A and B are shown apart, each in its own frame.
Chain A
Amino acid sequence: MQSDTTSATPALELSRVVKSFGAVVALRSGSLRLHDGSIHALIGENGAGKSTLVKIIAGLYRRDGGEFRLRGEEVDFHSTAQSKANGIAVIYQEPTLFPDLSVVENIFMGRQPTGRLGRIDRAAMRAEATEIFDRLGVSIDPDRPTDGLSIADQQIIEIAKAISLDASVLVMDEPTAALSGVEVDRLFSVARSLRDEGRALVFISHRFDEVFDLCDTVTVMRDGAHVDTMPIAETTVDDMVRMMVGRDVTEMFPKLPAEIGEEVLAVDGLTQPGVFHDVSFTVHAGEIVGLAGLVGAGRSEVARAVFGVDPYREGTVHVGGAPLPKGRPRAAMARGLALVPEDRRRQGLVLDLPVTRNITLAVRDRLARFGLIWGSRENESARVWASRLEVKTAALDTESGTLSGGNQQKVVLGKWLATDPKVLIVDEPTRGIDVGTKAEVHRLLSQLAQQGIAILMISSELPEVLGMADRVLVMREGRLTGEFKREQATPEAVMLAATADEEPAR
């Protein structure tokens, strides 16, 4: 698979790179050595410093120390334009598109082909974009604005952008986090063909199956430092996990038995035209109900409609036997509903507020005495939840935006657990979270169920759903297409319900 190039000059080499943000040391000693014609996996826990390393390569951050060589030459990028000019393309963890501009313009912005007088050659630009889309096997209207595209389509455009750059080094920071199986496959075949053209690729993912499927070499990071680099063929999942966390873990925390009580949440005939249709289900106290399906099946929308942030046209929601008014999150919260949304940076957290204020945001009414609220009470309440969930932060008044993904997720969980919910809806609770934290989240959910909380867990990861849920619901294209007891829920059965006529993903 991989031509032996270890002796040749690496395409790109970072050694003992240091980067800190204020008191936070994001990278203590980051090292990475890339070779042409290779796909290199970069793995590590949340906050291990992967994205920071990527951003240094991209020229977005400047390193505080260490070495950075490109084809043997020492470089120090001041801007992303410089790294681009040197043939480095980066797909960032979050898609970064201009919503008002067309797909084509997004791909070529800043380096459009020009003709006489510097006039942009729109026809050439369009032709090249069409060609790239053909190669990727997708058909996206190149003239439409990117506003309104699904996350998967946005990711495809990011990839098209990188390809059009004709870069010799391509870095992809968790490109698959929002993609479905089919899309992942397509992306992988493109990545392989790029490798075969002799380019160097970096692939970051928390999914080990993908890493094994695609990559030839893997670098593991922990706590901002390089741990080890080895050929993928010479390692196992267990080895990698041990290196990542520095101890043995299993990805899945075993579900604890819980006593299933009376029905707490009852959703009946919920319909929002074009989004979801006739969705009915119940969740009992102490029960974890998994909601499976492909990305884009409309599960998040159902959750949001139940909680009241989104509207729905028909149907009813009952909590504890009494009907819940539509579109009123406050009323839902008052009745003991909590929603941990899927996009924690946009929906879950106010990134610029300190951890404290985020944790108490949903319980601010409850913390008030005679309508007045005091900072000391908030701090007290936040401290309780931060330590219970072991949020890794130096002080509670640090801005939550500076925490790593996993710790941010813990803050969101803490925020909703603080409301002492009867029904907890968690949407992709472990998306983009490392194995260690993932197991912690699972343990937490299990414990909560034991305490009698009704849990609805939306997840795109089948093992998680099958491992955690007492009952599994499956959605496809806005409809409930299957319901399985824990014992009946086999991967095959669930996948079939989720895809029906489509080929099963993953």
Chain B
Amino acid sequence: MTATTEAAAPRTYAAHAQPLWRRVLVTREASIIGLLLAVIAVAMATVPNFDSPLTVTYLLRETAPILLIALPMTLIIITAEIDLSVASVLGLASVVTGLGVQAGWPLPVAMVVAVLVGATAGAINGALVTVVGLPSLAVTIGTLALFRGIAVGLLGTTAISDFPETWTDLARTNIPGTPVPVVIIAFAVLALGFAVLLHFTPFGRSLYAIGLNKEAAAFSGIDVGRSKFWLFVMSGTVAGFAGVYFTLLYNNARGDNAIGMELQIIAAVLLGGVSIFGGRGALHGVIAGVLLIGTLGSALRLAGVTSDIINVLTGLLLVLSVVSASALSWVHQRRVAALGRRRGRSPGTSS
């Protein structure tokens, strides 16, 4: 009577279809890291002056804003959203820092206000996306213009550059005894925080689920709207912080600071293996992606290659990285299909 009981032999379920080394080494992230190491090795060997500590300092100092903003951007793209307004938020925060100092506030106060403005900007994006339910691509193209417009509108023709030297020096100094700028400490802390959040918390798990199927995520008790909202707030906050750093680094608060950086950041995140459709990607890949673009640019500039060629290479890298991934999966499918056909010819040899 009982339906399916033929002394159900205890089944074992292999947890993994692939061996460990394959799962670790044959990943998008691993190949980006490998490429980064290769670029560094080649540059060391062939580009004069590349091996100087200055290279490290300059590289990290300049890519720091991209590194910072790439962190929350990764999480946002994993939920299948996007934030194109980050560079505008950076510019707005820069202007706010400047105006604060001009108004006679102590710099730390101005900095805190600037970061809060960034958070507010992020909250506006978040609310439009989650509460009103608009597509983030369109929303942030709008706020890209809006926040930049406010920044440029507030400061008009002027640039503010009378920041206390103790602070501007802090933005430029290195960790004593190393060629690494102090801002990297802030980045490391944030990166660790974001990595843990994304890869080792229930919240992080829910982000992948949201990116792949937000309806199923909602049915699993994940508050999709709230999660996304906070991601946008994080993105705004980090962009605000990056704006303060940018201002101090260049001793310069301007409305058009970091104009166009949003696309650089997104390019780096995508290069790092995050899927624009959401649900896939890891932070170590993204960090490697940012550093890869930065290092390549730095090495090529040192080798006397002009900025246009560097742009072409950045674009090629991005295109090749996605195309190769899709080509690989195509080859894989072909192989599998061929395997299937072979099996098909000799029936009876299946599972």
Contact = CB atoms under 8 A, between A and B. Distances in A.
**Do A and B interact directly, with beta carbons closer than 8 Å?**
yes
Nearest to A330: B221
Nearest to B214: A350
B343 A18 contact: yes
B21 interface: no
A495 B94 CA distance: 69
A309 B218 contact: yes
Contacts of B341: 18, 64-65
B351 interface: yes
Contacts, number: 151
A190 B259 CA distance: 63
Interface stretch (A4-12, A194-202, A394-402): A394-402
A23 to B, nearest CB: 7
A20 B340 contact: yes
A372 B196 contact: yes
B11 A390 contact: yes
Contacts of A390: 4, 8, 11
A440 B209 contact: no
Contacts of B10: 387
A383 B13 contact: yes
Interface residues of A, number: 65
Interface in A356-383: 356-357, 360-362, 364-365, 367-368, 371-374, 379, 383
A364 B13 contact: no
Contacts of B344: 18-20, 63-66
B1 interface: yes
B202 interface: yes
A333 B221 contact: yes
Contact of A396 (B6, B16, B209, B215): B16
A232 B25 CA distance: 55
A346 B350 contact: no
A440 B14 CA distance: 23
A439 interface: yes
A393 B11 CA distance: 11
A253 B1 CA distance: 8
Give the interface SS of chain A, mostly helix, strand, loop or mixed: mixed
Contacts of A347: 215-216, 219
B319 interface: no
Given A65-B341, A373-B205, A352 B212 contact: yes
Contacts of A63: 344
A120 B132 CA distance: 37
Contact of B212 (A250, A309, A353): A353
Contacts of B200: 372-374
Contacts of B15: 356, 379, 383, 395-397
Q: How large is the interface on B (under 10, 10 to 19, 20 to 34, 35 or more residues)?
A: 35 or more
A89 B22 CA distance: 43
A333 B13 CA distance: 28
A443 interface: yes
B178 interface: no
A386 interface: yes
A19 B217 CA distance: 32
Given A28-B350, A253-B3, A368 B202 contact: yes
B340 A350 contact: no
A19 B340 contact: yes
Given A25-B343, A397-B15, A352 B279 contact: yes
A309 B1 contact: no
Contacts of A348: 216, 219
Contact of A415 (B16, B212, B220): B220
A350 B202 contact: no
A21 B351 contact: no
Contacts of A247: 6
Interface in B323-351: 336-337, 339-341, 343-345, 347, 350-351
Contacts of B223: 329-330
Given A18-B344, A383-B13, A395-B15, A250 B209 contact: no
A118 interface: no
B13 A395 contact: yes
Interface in B19-75: none
Given A330-B221, A352-B213, A364-B205, A395 B17 contact: yes
Which of B2, B196, B201, B213 has most chain A Cβ within 10 Å? B213
A349 interface: yes
A64 B337 contact: yes
Given A329-B219, A439-B4, A346 B347 contact: no
A329 B336 CA distance: 41
B314 interface: no
A339 interface: yes
Contacts of A356: 15
A351 interface: yes
A230 interface: no
A22 B333 CA distance: 7
Contacts of B213: 346, 349-352
B206 interface: yes
Contacts of A360: 205
Interface in A214-270: 224, 247, 249-250, 253-254
A29 B18 CA distance: 28
18 contacts: A18-B343, A19-B340, A20-B336, A25-B351, A65-B345, A224-B350, A253-B2, A254-B1, A330-B221, A333-B221, A346-B216, A348-B219, A350-B279, A361-B205, A364-B202, A374-B200, A379-B15, A436-B4
Given A64-B337, A395-B14, 11 more contacts: A25-B343, A64-B340, A64-B341, A249-B4, A329-B219, A329-B223, A347-B215, A386-B13, A387-B11, A391-B13, A440-B3
Top 8 nearest A-B pairs (CB, nearest first) are: A65-B344, A18-B344, A439-B3, A20-B340, A364-B202, A395-B17, A64-B340, A64-B344
Interface of B: 1-4, 6, 8, 10-18, 196, 200-202, 204-206, 208-209, 212-213, 215-223, 279, 336-337, 339-341, 343-345, 347, 350-351
